[in-house]
Amino acid sequence: MQDIAEQVLALASRSATWAEVYAAREEETPVSFKANRLHSIETREARGLALRVVVEGRIGFASSSQLDEPELLVRDALATARFGPASALAYPTQQVQDPGLGLYDQRIADLSADTMVQIGQQMIDRVRAHGEDILCDADVRKSTGTVLLLNSSGGQGTYCQTVVWLGLNANRVRGTDILDIWEEDASCHLAAIDAEGVVRTVLEKLDLAEEIAPIRTASLPVIFTPKGVYMTLLAPLQAALNGKLVLQGASPLAGRLGERVFDPGFSVFDDGRVPGQPTSAPMDGEGVPTRRTALVQEGSVSAFYYDLQTAGLAGTESTGNGQRGLTSLPSPATHALRIVPGTASYEAMLSDISEGLLVDQTMGAWAGNVLGGQFSGNVHLGFRIEKGRLVGRVKDTMVAGNVFEALAHLAGIGDRAHWVGGRAEIPYLYIPSLAVSAR
């Protein structure tokens, strides 16, 4: 890959003011179980080259999975530069070294399909022992990837990453009532994967979901689990802190840097350097070293996240958030959002509520006006709280609100943060009043 990347860079540099080659290769093995049984084993190899050029101040872009046609790739990129956007890029010049993030585990690379099958089957057997009428889907997936970046201003970097990911879904159908509970875990290290924890959580929730409890349409106190926060509240927050949306004024947080918008106990970081996390990398997709960026500190907006082009247009610096796939230009995206834990124990939050709702899974909350901070989702898995206790699962229920209003006054922030699927680290959040609608 290095050879062809260098060849493309040399060829492009003949006609372009600046050129950047991003090359990636990945091999992925998904093992999937459906309805309690092994369903398929796959191998997916993928590779490709993406070329970004600046010609007469304009950006061109092309990508290809074909490694034997460097001329075609260069020609495509140069051709699009004729109509491309004006460049505001600060050209990276750094050779990025891996600061010891521990992203590669030979045990994952060596993991056999047989072992992956065993891991999945053991999870399913544990859940099945709990009830004959439960159907489990499970995924055990590993990937090994290499990323290489070279540009004509001397910037470069490369890293390898292994990821193992587990997902478990328990389904129970009774009459027209369908219950789905899912949990997941991911890591760059095999030893850090907690299959047992995934199973335990699913079993606990299956027990809790036995009883169905009514809920009324009202403004009620609501506790979101870390997964509930991730599925319901995180996307609007992520969008509002995106430097590109801020630059366009499309974020409700635009122009409010330094302003206290959230609860004084609420702080959020984006962190591209958590050791062993699948979201971590020494550099972003354009060769800028990743970092830990405080986005919200004690309720005040302290930074937005940027890629190079957006930062250039906004007159600031990239925060190392230029994320990309192979087939498009980099764009600002978070690595892992980490909401800082507070002081409330889960038990204390629960016991504070005489009538309310615990939300663990929502559906479609992302589908509304995310930019405006609105969320309105079906409570896919949620429990009625009565006198400080969970008394049963609610059905035909929606929660709705505005993220900025909901997070402005929190009645509690959990004292522990939990990783959700290896993508974000979040504590329980207790919102004193939210619109709950029931049939």
Partner 1 sequence: MALEGKHGMRDLLQDALRGHRADYVEIRIEEAETTAIRFRGRELEEVGRSRSLGGNVRALVRGGWGFASFNDVRDLRRYVEMAVHQARLVPREPVTLAPAPVVEDVVRASARKDVRGISVDDKVALLKEYNELLWASAPLQTTAARYNDLFRRSIFANSEGTYTEQEVLDLSAVLVAVARKDSEVEQAFLSVGSQGDLSVLDGRQAEVEAVARRAVELLSASRIKGGSYTVIVDPRLAGVFVHEAFGHLSEADHVYENPRLRELMVLGRRFGGPPLNIVDGAAVPGHRGSYAYDSEGMPAQRTYLIREGVLVGRLHSRETAGRMGEPPSANARSISYRFPPIVRMTNTYIEPGDTTFEQMLASIDDGVYVKDSFGGQTSMEMFTFSAAEAFRIRRGRLEEPLRGVNLSGNVFQTLANIEAIGNDLQWSEGGGCGKGEQAPLPVAMGSPHLLIRDVVIGGG
Contacting partner 1 within 289-318 (CB under 8 A): none
Residue whose CB is less far from partner 1, 310 or 412: 310
> Minimal distance in Å, beta carbon 304 to partner 1?
15
Instruction: Show the tokens assigned to 287.
Output: 């060769």
Question: Site for partner 1 (CB under 8 A): which residue of 2, 35, 125, 197?
Answer: 35
CB of 291 to partner 1, least distance (A): 24
Q: By rule CB under 8 A, what string of x and - marks binding of each residue 171-190 to partner 1?
A: x-xx-xxx-x----------
4 neighbors 134 (Cβ within 8 angstroms): no
CB nearer partner 1, residue 77 or residue 241? 77
Residues in a beta bridge with 225: none
Task: Count the Cβ atoms, other than its own, within 10 Å of residue 39.
Answer: 14
Binding test (CB under 8 A) with partner 1, winner from 43, 100, 258, 315:
43
Nearest to 23 by CA among 43, 6, 40, 35: 6
What is the nearest approach in angstroms of partner 1 to the Cβ of residue 346?
Answer: 25
Q: Of these, 1, 10, 18, 34, which contacts partner 1 (CB under 8 A)?
A: 34
- For the record, the structure tokens of 384 come out as 């009625």
**Out of 368, 388, 421, 432, which residue is the one contacting partner 1 (CB under 8 A)?**
368
Interface with partner 1 includes 367 (CB under 8 A)? yes
Asked whether 148 and 86 are in contact (CB, 8 A), the reply is no
Torsion of CA 372, 224, 234, 101, to 10 degrees: 170
**Residue numbers 104-123 binding partner 1 by CB under 8 A:** 113-114, 117
Beta carbon of residue 307, minimum distance to partner 1 (angstroms, whole number): 11
65 binds partner 1 (CB under 8 A): yes
Give the shortest CB-248-to-partner 1 separation in angstroms. Answer: 4
List the interface residues with partner 1, window 204-263 (CB under 8 A). Answer: 217, 244, 248-252, 256
Task: Compute the distance between CA of residue 109 and CA of residue 145 in angstroms, rounded to an integer.
Answer: 10
**Applying CB under 8 A, what is the total number of residues that bind partner 1?**
83
Which phi and psi angles does 189 have, rounded to 5°?
A: -120, 130
Residue 260: is it exposed, middle or buried by C-beta count within 10 angstroms (0-12/13-18/19+)?
A: middle
Q: How far is the CB of 349 from partner 1 (least distance, A)?
A: 23
Residue type, 229: V
| Binding residues for partner 1 restricted to 369-428, rule: CB under 8 A | 369, 371-374, 376-378, 380, 396, 398-402, 404
Q: Using the rule CB under 8 A, is 90 a contact of partner 1?
A: no
Please report whether residue 128 would count as binding partner 1 according to CB under 8 A.
no
Least Å from the CB of residue 83 to partner 1:
5
Q: CA 2, CA 41: separation in Å to the nearest integer?
A: 30
Single residue of 3, 14, 83, 258 touching partner 1 by CB under 8 A: 83
Residue number with CB closer to partner 1 (177 or 210): 177
- 252 three-state secondary structure: coil
**How far, in Å, CA of 124 to CA of 112, rounded?**
19
Q: 403 phi and psi, to 5 degrees?
A: -55, -40
Binding of residue 347 to partner 1 (CB under 8 A): no
- Measure the CA–CA gap between 79 and 106, rounded to whole angstroms: 42
Which of 336, 334, 338, 345 is CA-nearest to residue 428?
A: 345
Contact between 84 and partner 1 per CB under 8 A = yes
| Residue 416 DSSP SS3 | strand
- CA 400 vs. chain centroid, Å, equals 22
